[in-house]
Amino acid sequence: MLINTMKDLMKKYDNTILTLPNGGITITSVKYVPEGEHSCEFEYDPDHLTYHTKGFVSIQGAIHGCDKEATDICFEVAVPDDWNGKLIQIGGGGFNGIIRPCHLNSFVDIHAKKVKTYVYGRTMEDPTLVSDGYAVCSTDSGHKVKFEWDASWALNPEVLRNHAFEHLKKTREAAAFLVSELHGKLPEMTYFFGGSEGGREALEVVQRYPEDYNSVICFFPAINIVTKGIKDFFVGKRLLENNGAAWLSPDDRAYVKQVASDVCNGDVNDWKCALERKGEIFEKLALKLTPAQIKGLRALTDDMYLPYPVANGVRKIPGYLAYLGIGLDLLYPSSPFETGREMMPMASDTVQYIIMRDPSFDTNDFDVEKYKEKIIEASELIDATNPDISEFKLRGGKLIILHGMEDEVITPLSTIDYYESLQAKFGDELDDFVRFYLIPGYGHNIGRFIVRHDFIETLENWVKNDVVPEELIIEDVIPENNGRTIPIYPYPGYPHYKGSGDKNKAENYYKRTK
């Protein structure tokens, strides 16, 4: 019966399956993966990783565009034999362009060309979502990347709109339909789970498609990807001017970290103290660093304000926490003459293709005043900063947001700003459906503390059993840290709810990461 059903799936479906305009769906591959041990079969897998799974059907397909020039939205859905009736959609990363594996607790980092053996709280040793009974889907958001941080795909309007948010709904509907073809019913619950670009996507589904998703987990979201790209672009120019005079050598970076640690009494994860004592940190840094180096570090860490509001009235682009020594090895190039590590190339392509949408545009001429309309248009399309998530609340949705305090790629201050905009909108009612956690020692899936925790179980307990997540105990997966654990609390990071706990004592819990 299953074999016949699988064969029936191998056909083209017309454009009536999906709500949004599309050119139909073609199923490109259907295969059955039996229960047992299997090779991961990644292109970048020198360790020949394996995984254990219960039996499932893997379906790959392509959602065609209305524009014949638009590239397909390629997707995968993994449907377990023992399905629990629920669908989890996984978000992407970077500029997307690759399908994240639905059946693993890992993903291929196409930029670093390696396999990361944990994803947002789960390791390769933990049961997969599919083995736990969930159908899981993911997508490349409607394009392939030619090279690291390539955004040339954005020149096609339909492809750009797909990437911005439409691929999310299209993929969810396609996956739900295919699951129903195998099991005879649509999913009763749909969750979204993603970080970085996938974190932006998580907030997009809450803001744009609240009727489609019951609950969402969002890790370190690239919430303001367009405006972040603008700030990063000008920071990159500042670091390169005067023959790279602002560059920090490895010794300089170590000095920054040591000064910050001394000023913060050894606890740079106490974010309130770190922000309040920023001026003192810079005073001490100026005793050794040159004015040009201070100027460059200031460009990174100071907030940038646009001369006009963009999407949802936002003007502020928060700075990085680099003055604490966080992420300097990724933010600064290995020599004063390079164009930068992670953020500079991404920023350049954001300006060239997503904002200006002109492959011949000379980015040296980019000016925020001159190109106001293009910047606002791009921000309104892609930045996920809308605090009005009333429809999500009304349908009983739950949202868990997490951000590491040592994130060197996306500043946690942008997520803090968004959460505070939610507080301004909903007041005390926000606690009924949103929880936000800052995680000490944790970076962009790297850091001194790498999180292990079953956030899906935490979400399910909240949704099904009304167990409100307050204190969460998270484990460190770094082997040399011997499974240490710490508690994390809802923002601002101590047991503040209903006056419980010793606030003065609890505010120092970050020190347990040392």
The encoded tokens of residue 462 equal 């909240």
- Which residues have a Cβ under 8 Å from the Cβ of 430 and sit 6 or more positions away? 422, 423
Same domain, 208 and 83: no
Whole-number Å distance between alpha carbons of 279 and 260: 11
Give CA separation, 474 vs 88, 209, 215, 373, 489, in Å. 22, 30, 21, 44, 11
Cβ atoms within 10 Å, residue 218: 30
Whole-number Å distance between alpha carbons of 124 and 127: 8
The pLDDT of residue 245 is above 60? yes
Query: What does the angle CA 351 – CA 352 – CA 356 come to, to the nearest 5 degrees?
Result: 80
Do residues 454 and 122 lie in contact, with contact meaning Cβ atoms separated by under 8 Å? Answer: yes
Cβ atoms within 10 Å, residue 197: 20
- Of 361, 382, 403, the residue that ends a domain is 382
Same domain, 366 and 376: yes
What does residue 100 show for φ and ψ, rounded to 5 degrees?
-70, 135
The pLDDT of residue 370 is above 80? yes
Q: What band does 110 get if pLDDT is binned at 50, 70 and 90?
A: low
- Which residues have a Cβ under 8 Å from the Cβ of 129 and sit 6 or more positions away? 88, 102, 105, 122, 136, 456
The encoded tokens of residue 411 equal 């500043």
Q: Mean pLDDT throughout 330-359? A: 82
Same domain, 301 and 448: no
The encoded tokens of residue 194 equal 């993603």
Do residues 497 and 505 lie in contact, with contact meaning Cβ atoms separated by under 8 Å? Answer: no
Same domain, 278 and 421: no
Same domain, 12 and 81: yes
Ramachandran sector of residue 194 (left: φ over 0; alpha: ψ -120 to 50; beta: rest)? beta
What pLDDT, on the 0 to 100 scale, is given for residue 9? 78
Same domain, 145 and 170: yes
Q: Mean pLDDT throughout 301-310? A: 97
The structural domain count of the chain equals 3
The encoded tokens of residue 33 equal 């993966």
Domain range for residue 507?
188-223+384-514
Q: Output the domain CATH number for residue 199.
A: 3.40.50
Q: Which residues lie across from 447 on neighbouring strands? A: 442
- Of 353, 382, 411, the residue that ends a domain is 382
Do residues 292 and 242 lie in contact, with contact meaning Cβ atoms separated by under 8 Å? Answer: yes
**pTM (two decimals):** 0.93
Q: Which of the two residues, 204 and 443, has the higher pLDDT score? A: 204
Let me know if 143 is exposed, middle or buried by CB neighbors in 10 A (0-12, 13-18, 19+). buried
Q: Mean pLDDT throughout 160-181? A: 97
Q: Which residues lie across from 137 on neighbouring strands? A: 77, 89
Same domain, 219 and 231: no
Q: Which residues lie across from 26 on neighbouring strands? A: 12, 62
Query: What does the angle CA 160 – CA 386 – CA 314 come to, to the nearest 5 degrees?
Result: 90
3-state helix, strand, coil in the chain (%, to 5): 40, 20, 40
Let me know if 234 is exposed, middle or buried by CB neighbors in 10 A (0-12, 13-18, 19+). middle
The model's pLDDT over 452-502, given as tens digits with 9 standing for 90+, comes to 999 999 999 999 999 999 999 999 988 888 889 999 999 987 654 333 344
Same domain, 355 and 292: yes
Same domain, 242 and 332: yes
Same domain, 163 and 304: no
What pLDDT, on the 0 to 100 scale, is given for residue 109? 61
The pLDDT of residue 5 is above 80? no
The pLDDT of residue 512 is above 70? no
Give CA separation, 332 vs 63, 248, 338, 375, 412, in Å. 39, 7, 9, 26, 19
The encoded tokens of residue 208 equal 């744009």
What pLDDT, on the 0 to 100 scale, is given for residue 100? 87
Q: Mean pLDDT throughout 246-273? A: 86
Please report how the helices 225-244 and 372-382 are oriented relative to each other, as an axis angle in degrees rounded to 10: 130
The encoded tokens of residue 231 equal 């700030």
The model's pLDDT over 28-82, given as tens digits with 9 standing for 90+, comes to 999 999 999 988 777 666 667 788 899 999 999 999 999 999 999 999 999 999 9
Reference 225, options 317, 289, 327; nearest CA is: 317
Percent residues over pLDDT 70 in the chain: 89
The pLDDT of residue 450 is above 70? yes
What pLDDT, on the 0 to 100 scale, is given for residue 116? 65
- Give residue 335's identity as a one-letter amino acid code: S
The model's pLDDT over 185-203, given as tens digits with 9 standing for 90+, comes to 999 999 999 999 999 999 9
Ramachandran sector of residue 265 (left: φ over 0; alpha: ψ -120 to 50; beta: rest)? left
Map tokens 């120019």 to a residue.
Answer: 237
- Of 382, 414, 442, the residue that ends a domain is 382
Whole-number Å distance between alpha carbons of 360 and 369: 20
- Which residues have a Cβ under 8 Å from the Cβ of 504 and sit 6 or more positions away? none
* Residue 440 DSSP SS3: coil
Q: What band does 299 get if pLDDT is binned at 50, 70 and 90?
A: very high
Q: Where are the alpha helices (DSSP H) in 370-454?
A: 372-382, 390-394, 412-426
Same domain, 146 and 218: no
What pLDDT, on the 0 to 100 scale, is given for residue 68? 94
Q: Mean pLDDT throughout 252-277? A: 84
Same domain, 239 and 357: yes
What pLDDT, on the 0 to 100 scale, is given for residue 132? 95
* Average pLDDT taken over every residue of the chain: 89
